[in-house]
Amino acid sequence: MNLLIVESPAKAKTLNKYLGRDFNVIASMGHIKDLPTNDLGVDINQNFKPSYYVIKGKGKTIQKMKELAKKAERVYLGPDPDREGEAIAVHIYEELGVPEDRIYRVLFNEITKNAVIDSIRNPQKLDMNKYQSQQARRILDRLVGYLISPILWRKVMPGLSAGRVQSVAVKLIILREEAIREFKKQRFYELDGLFSKESESRFKARLTSIGNNKAVFDDESKAISTKNHIKQLSYFKVSGVNDSQRKRNPFPPFITSKLQQAAYNAFGFSAKKTMQLAQDLYEGMDVGDGKLEGLITYMRTDSVRISKEAIESVRGFISEKWGIEYLPESPNFYSSKSRAQDAHEAIRPTHVEYAPDSLRDILPRDHFRLYELIWKRFVASQMSPAIYSQRVVVIESGAYEFRSTASKLIFDGFMKLYNEVEENNSGETEQNGVAIPELKSGDLLNLADIEIVSRDTQPPARYTEATLIKELEERG
């Protein structure tokens, strides 16, 4: 009999179904050791040596693990494949008292039968470098929290706390609030002309320049004066027509921070809720007839890398579902940020065949919504780009230049499955889906009307949970 120790009962339940009678799978119920709660627990004078103790209430769990480990032929440690998981594995090893040659570390990037069996067949040793990195982070957390929080109690208010990440986030929020308070609104004015060619339909074009100057006015009287002058002009001539196509490429599959942001924007989920739902999907959910299956890969990752097998699987799915026009000639590859650890794949479904519709009436509502978001983002990431036809028309009359841009979707590509709002910050009038008449250079146009469009500069927006996560991510 072999023993496999993981940190979660739900994970243990799923693994037990895969491994059968040769394995006893139990859960440590998270960390079993930690720094003391009533003391700093870090000896600064001894190279920042931490002092760990067994967490209250974990004694029976440790005793059970010890008893089973003594009888086991092999002991596999399978907590999550990240720093915290490695710390749990090392602390369990320290408490078991089992010879090192009977201890095996197994990493589950996904909890599916094939992946689990492959990990058991290819175990590793405990990664002490990863453990030490967790120790460094834990010690920093303790030093910042225990040494700075008392200053807050004395100077600000009792009960406040400082933290390695928390304090930086608070500083960002303060800086943003100061910027909002110091902001002074400014109004500016632009001019939109309504043009037509003979009896054809009208279209808008924005006045973009007067000679070498941008046509943006901070004084309404100047805008009115310019408007009245333009209305007196005798002709408006098309000086350029540029027809082109542009591609909109799909988004990469999710990393942790992007999943948190997307789930907040789509459903209002907090980062904590998103990670708990994702943990459940990773550890195993009932997919019908009592069958437990890990539905997504490990959800704590900063990499957009995808395995070769997953790419082959999703490309086959896309081709069969929508046809080869929705499948690029070669797979789409994405680059992770330079600081990425790249320890795990991007977040993706473990089986692309589990399309959301097949699980709609099986998964709890919020689990389903998050799974659908992950599934669609991943599948779309390997689809063809969307293609737009774009027409830019330049209209001149003396020193005055107007521009109009019309964009029309002609092939939906990945947007057939997944779409996010794309902002237009070009400063030109964009008429998505609205056709500009067939025009050529030299055509004369009628000015049917011209209007003043006023806008106010906007203060910086207060952070939402999603935008704060994004800011922290961008700052490293």
Over 281-339, what HEC string results?
A: HHHCEECCCCCEECCECCCCCCCCCCCHHHHHHHHHHHHHHHCHHHCCCCCCCCCCCCC
**Domain covering 187-249+385-456 in this structure, CATH number:** 2.70.20.10
Indicate if the pLDDT at residue 431 is higher than 80.
Answer: no
Res 426: pLDDT: 42
* Pairing verdict, β 103-105 and 75-77: parallel
Mean pLDDT estimate for the chain:
93
Q: Where are the domains of the chain?
A: 2-135, 146-183+462-474, 187-249+385-456, 256-381
Give the type of residue at 279. Q
Res 430: pLDDT: 52
**What whole-number percentage of the chain has pLDDT above 90?**
87
- DSSP-assigned letters across all residues of 74-111: -EEE---SSHHHHHHHHHHHHHH---GGGEEE---SS-
Mean pLDDT to the nearest integer, 236-254: 96
Could you please state the CATH topology (level 3) that the domain comprising 256-381 is classified under: Topoisomerase I; domain 4 (1.10.290)
Res 427: pLDDT: 43
Indicate if the pLDDT at residue 353 is higher than 70.
Answer: yes
Indicate if the pLDDT at residue 338 is higher than 90.
Answer: no
Q: Residue 246, Cβ neighbours under 10 Å: how many?
A: 11
Mean pLDDT to the nearest integer, 163-179: 94
Res 130: pLDDT: 95
Indicate if the pLDDT at residue 339 is higher than 70.
Answer: no
Q: Residue 422, Cβ neighbours under 10 Å: how many?
A: 8
**pTM score of the predicted model:** 0.87
The closest alpha carbon to 393, from 433, 440, 444, belongs to 440
Indicate if the pLDDT at residue 432 is higher than 80.
Answer: no
Active site residues: 298
Residue pLDDT, tens place only, 89-120: 999 999 999 999 999 999 999 999 999 999 99
Q: Which CATH entry fits the domain spanning 2-135: 1.10.260.40, 3.40.50.140, 3.40.50.410, 3.30.70.141? A: 3.40.50.140
Phi-psi category of residue 18: left, alpha or beta, with phi > 0 → left and psi -120 to 50 → alpha: alpha
